[in-house]
Amino acid sequence: MKLIEIDKERYRKHLNRVLVGCALSLAICSLVLSQLLIYLFPDPSGSHFHWNAIGVLVSAALVGITLSKHRYHPYLTEVYYVWQLKQALNKITRKMRKIEAAAQQGNADAMLALQYSYSGSRLLWQLDDNTIIMDELAVKQTELNNLAEKHNVSLNVDEYNEQLLKQF
């Protein structure tokens, strides 16, 4: 997955609208379905917990299916890209100890995975205005640059491929 620049304002606007739309859809659909189930199948004891739970579960499934079907819509381009990027970074994070150990021993693929992780994290943190730990990231980036120079490795995030992670 290639790292691309995202228009921060457009991303935030679309993400907020999608989140509000999902929350409203979930709330309204849950209430309507629950009330419909309670009306069709009244419980003499007055306990309608199971109908309410079914209404929420069905509504959540409908919202999920709707998002899944429309994920390639131009309106969701940035939102879906960021979601995919977070998944890609999570795969690296799960293997981070092994990757860091291999990078210290001069493994070029490990250094490339770290470079991708740092670059992707920087992109995400800038989009989400999470600049608190950017200094820590800069230190790690400097360490990686020194390590790459020591082992004579060039790091280009465009060369990163998720398949590199299989060896770790």
Average pLDDT (59-75) is 96
Closest CA to 54 of 68, 36, 72: 36
pTM confidence score: 0.83
Cβ atoms 55, 33 nearer than 8 A:
yes
Could you report the per-residue pLDDT of 102-118, keeping only the tens digit for each?
Answer: 999 999 999 999 999 99
Average pLDDT (35-41) is 92
Query: What's the CA gap between 24 and 5, in Å, rounded?
Result: 30
Indicate if the pLDDT at residue 45 is higher than 90. Answer: no
Average pLDDT, the chain: 93
Query: What's the CA gap between 26 and 16, in Å, rounded?
Result: 15
pLDDT band at 86 (very low <50, low <70, confident <90, very high): very high
Residue 102 CB neighbour total at 10 angstroms: 19
- Would you call 57 helix, strand, or coil by DSSP? helix
Query: What's the CA gap between 26 and 60, in Å, rounded?
Result: 6
Residue 164 is given by DSSP the state: G
